[in-house]
Structure formats: C-alpha cells, structure tokens
C-alpha cells in the first residue's frame, strides 16, 4: 500500500472564498493527509455558515501521515487579528495571511510536508497593510533564496509558462533580457523533465510584440533578445525550442498538439487563453523551487464570498495534480 502523503493547504485571504473551498474539499474522500494552515475559529465559523460538518485536530508532526477522513482537518493554527467578514477585506488580517505562508514555507523546507497547495490571497490588501508582496510565486522564491522561479498554469491539454510574472506591463520589455530568458527556459526544461517525465520537452516560445515584431518593424525585442537567446540555448539544452512565434496565433490546436508547453512573455499574454480554456479546472504551479508548490487558478472571489457559490473544481484539480507531482517526485 502507498504511504499517504501530507499536503499543506493555506486557506488564503480570510474574507475570500479560500476557507469555503477548503471546507468543501474536506467533505470528500482523499487518499492523502490534508493539513490546513488557517484560523480554527474561521474554519469552524465557515463550516457552520455552509451547514457542513467539520472536526479539527491540531497537527502533530510526530504522527505518521494518515489518509484524509471526510469532514475532518488537521490544522496548523494561526489566529486572525480581527474577525473575518466575508467579502470585506481588512488589512488587520494581512499579517495573518503572510504568517500562514511563512509556516508553509518552513514546513516544506524541513520536508515535514510533501507539498504546499495555496488558497487565494489578495495582493492589494497585503500591500495596503505595508507588507510588500507581489505573489506566492515571488514570496516562496525569496524565502527559498532562489534567484528565479517560473510560474506555470496547466489545464487538460494546455500548459502555459510565463517569462515574467507580476509586474506592470510597461516594465515587461526591459525585464525580457537574455539572462532572464536563459534562466526561465532552463528551469522550464529541467522541471518538465523531472516533474512531467518529458525527456526532450518541446516548448513553443511566443514573441513579445504583435506578430513577433514583424521583422523588426513592430518592435526589436525578438531580433535583439529572443532569437539570439533561443539560438544559443538550442546548442546547449536537450529540448526543442520553437519560435519566437506570434502569440495571437500560437494557441491553435494544430500547434499545441505538437508541443508540451507554451512560454508566454508576460502574464496576460498567456493566462487569458489558459483560463478561457480551463478556468475552474486548472492549476498554478511554481517551477524551480526546492519543494512542490501549487495553487488554484482563481483569486479571492470577494463578490461571491460568504454566499456558498464558490466552485471547488480548481481546488480538486489542484489537489489531484499535486498528488501526482508528489508521486512523480518520489519515483524519481
Ligand atoms: N492563487 C492566488 O492567490 C490568486 C490567483 C488569482 C488571483 N488572485 C488575487 O485575487 C484577487 C481577486 O482577483 P480577481 O477578481 O481578478 O479574480 P477572481 O478569480 O477572484 O475572480 C474573478 C471572477 O471569477 C469568479 N470566481 C473566482 N473563483 C471562483 C470559484 N472558485 N467559483 C466560482 N466563481 C469563481 C469570481 O466570483 C469573479 O467573478 C486579486 O487580489 C488577485 O491578485 C490570487
Ligand atoms: N498569476 C496567478 C493567476 O493569475 O492565477 C495569480 O496571480 C497567483 O499568483 P501567485 O501564485 O504567485 O500568488
């Protein structure tokens, strides 16, 4: 029998739909142990509002992981600073959110959990509280002292990785340097090989400008940076690097069927297509970290928080994907 893995879920922004999707997930059967880093008070109150059963036990690292029992959660408790009101952000609770992420990083770094699965946080309110935060991706990279990681979102039939993550659009062209592309593509290849068992990954690389720069008439980043970097890398890596191709036509089935991943140059070049194809059944994962970190494909859903409208499709998909990544990493 396979030993259950231990998966730590952070419940995310307390005023959002994170606590609701965690409690809904807890009602189902799972072969691995689910551990939640959150406020026990918040979890109990949310379960009560949803009229769902829930018992909590405090996490005991000395105990071996056991398969999930329906309507039960192991908890790493962190208390809120102020009562959570569904749909209404409160900067007093931003330190709570960050504390859950710090604990998750600590437990994963010490191999006390097999993976971190993060619920959605609200980047704006964390910054409003005076805590600099651009996203989980960058947070875990910094905590792990890794100079570069890669954000990838995946749904059935499509994986999209990003060369740049959370930065203003006007900062993107300057960020696309040979060094950045070199690092991103190497991490992408390494993790496609190790996490997805793709021996010689095929990567479709998008250009930055309309029509991939139209031979320099619509932008020079392709000619000056992307093409020479891909040429250099082709001689050095065990991967097929196709492109740069125009991003507007890259996402046609006839191209996607032939590649393992699309590499988009920036967040909204790649993610709208991914989310159009698979919102609610997609996962977000961070490549290049020393541990497995995954997340749902959606945000805090403040407009539906507290209304029992949150769909757990992405959370379920993210959990199944995470379980597979853990099995793959253990068999490597
Ligand atoms: N993993 C993460 O932490 C993560 C991911 C994406 C966005 N965010 C953050 O979330 C905040 C809100 O972002 P947003 O409003 O752009 O996106 P959002 O995903 O929160 O909401 C977009 C729309 O999708 C709906 N929706 C989202 N999740 C749903 C679910 N599970 N079931 C049913 N409907 C759902 C919402 O009701 C809303 O109408 C921002 O601060 C953003 O940065 C966090
Ligand atoms: N870019 C992500 C998305 O659109 O789903 C989201 O902002 C979450 O990013 P982090 O995992 O870095 O928080």
Q: How far, in Å, from the CA of 306 to the mean position of ligand 2?
A: 22
Q: pLDDT category, 18, cuts 50, 70, 90?
A: very high
Distance CA 10, CA 103 (A): 9
pTM of the model: 0.96
Q: What's the pLDDT score for residue 170?
A: 98
Helix, strand, or coil here: 26?
Answer: helix
* Domain covering 1-146+289-332 in this structure, CATH number: 3.40.718.10
Q: pLDDT category, 330, cuts 50, 70, 90?
A: confident
pLDDT in tens, 185-213: 999 999 999 999 999 999 999 999 999 99
The full set of domain ranges for the chain reads 1-146+289-332, 150-280
126 within ligand 1 shell (Cβ under 6 A): no
**Mean per-residue pLDDT for 263-276?**
98
Q: What's the pLDDT score for residue 332?
A: 66
Distance of CA 147 to the CA centre of its chain: 18
Distance CA 326, CA 81 (A): 34
Nearest CA to ligand 2 atom 3: 297
ipTM of model: 0.98
182 pLDDT more than 80? yes
Distance CA 43, CA 54 (A): 8
Q: What's the pLDDT score for residue 61?
A: 87
How does the average pLDDT of the chain come out, rounded? 97
- The Cβ of residue 251 has, within 10 Å, a number of other Cβ atoms equal to 20
Tell me, yes or no, if the two domains 1-146+289-332 and 150-280 fold the same way: yes
Q: What's the pLDDT score for residue 54?
A: 98
* Fold topology of 150-280: Isopropylmalate Dehydrogenase (3.40.718)
Q: What's the pLDDT score for residue 49?
A: 97
From start to end of the chain, where are the E strands?
6-10, 33-38, 55-58, 72-77, 115-118, 150-155, 158-162, 202-206, 240-245, 261-264, 282-287, 292-296
**Mean per-residue pLDDT for 14-21?**
98
79 pLDDT more than 90? yes
Q: Look up residue 169 and give its two tokens.
A: 């659009």
316 within ligand 1 shell (Cβ under 6 A): no
Closest atom of ligand 1 relative to the 124 alpha carbon: 41
State the DSSP code for 212: G
Q: What's the pLDDT score for residue 42?
A: 98
| Ligand nearest to the CA of residue 12, numbered in listed order | 1
Distance CA 87, CA 146 (A): 34
Nearest CA to ligand 1 atom 21: 301
Strands 55-58 and 33-38: unpaired
**Mean per-residue pLDDT for 11-20?**
98
pLDDT in tens, 92-122: 999 999 999 999 999 999 999 999 999 999 9
Q: Look up residue 265 and give its two tokens.
A: 């140059």
Q: pLDDT category, 1, cuts 50, 70, 90?
A: low
**Residue 6 and residue 63 in contact, taking contact as beta carbons nearer than 8 Å:** no
């Amino acid at each position: 029998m396979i030993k259950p893995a231990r998966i730590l879920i952070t419940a995310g922004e307390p005023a959002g739909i994170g606590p609701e999707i965690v409690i809904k997930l807890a009602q189902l059967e799972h072969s691995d142990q689910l551990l939640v880093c959150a406020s026990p008070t918040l979890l109990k109150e949310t379960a009560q509002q949803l009229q769902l059963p829930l018992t909590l036990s405090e996490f005991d690292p000395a105990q071996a992981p056991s398969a999930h029992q329906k309507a039960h959660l192991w908890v790493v408790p962190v208390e809120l600073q102020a009562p959570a009101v569904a749909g209404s952000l409160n900067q007093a609770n931003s330190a709570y959110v960050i504390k859950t992420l710090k604990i998750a990083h600590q437990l994963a770094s010490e191999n006390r959990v097999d993976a971190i699965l993060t619920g959605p946080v609200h980047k704006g309110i964390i910054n409003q509280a005076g805590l600099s935060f651009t996203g989980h991706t960058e947070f875990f990279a910094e905590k792990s002292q890794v100079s570069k990681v890669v954000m990838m979102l995946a749904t059935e039939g499509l994986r999209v990785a990003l060369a740049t993550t959370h930065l203003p659009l006007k900062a993107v062209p300057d960020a696309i340097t040979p060094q950045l592309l070199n690092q991103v593509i190497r991490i992408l290849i390494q993790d496609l090989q190790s996490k997805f068992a793709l021996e010689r990954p095929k990567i479709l690389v998008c250009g930055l400008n309309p029509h991939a720069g139209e031979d320099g008439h619509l932008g020079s980043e392709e000619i000056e940076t992307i093409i020479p970097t891909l040429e250099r890398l082709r001689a050095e890596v065990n991967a097929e690097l196709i492109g740069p191709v125009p991003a507007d036509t890259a996402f046609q089935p006839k191209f996607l069927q032939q590649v393992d991943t699309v590499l988009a140059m920036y967040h909204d070049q790649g993610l709208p297509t991914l989310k159009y194809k698979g919102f609610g059944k997609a996962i977000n994962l961070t490549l290049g970290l020393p541990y497995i970190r995954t997340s749902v494909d959606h945000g805090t859903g403040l407009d539906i928080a507290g209304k029992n409208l949150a769909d757990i499709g992405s959370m379920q998909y993210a959990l199944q994907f995470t379980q597979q990544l853990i099995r793959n990493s253990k068999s490597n």
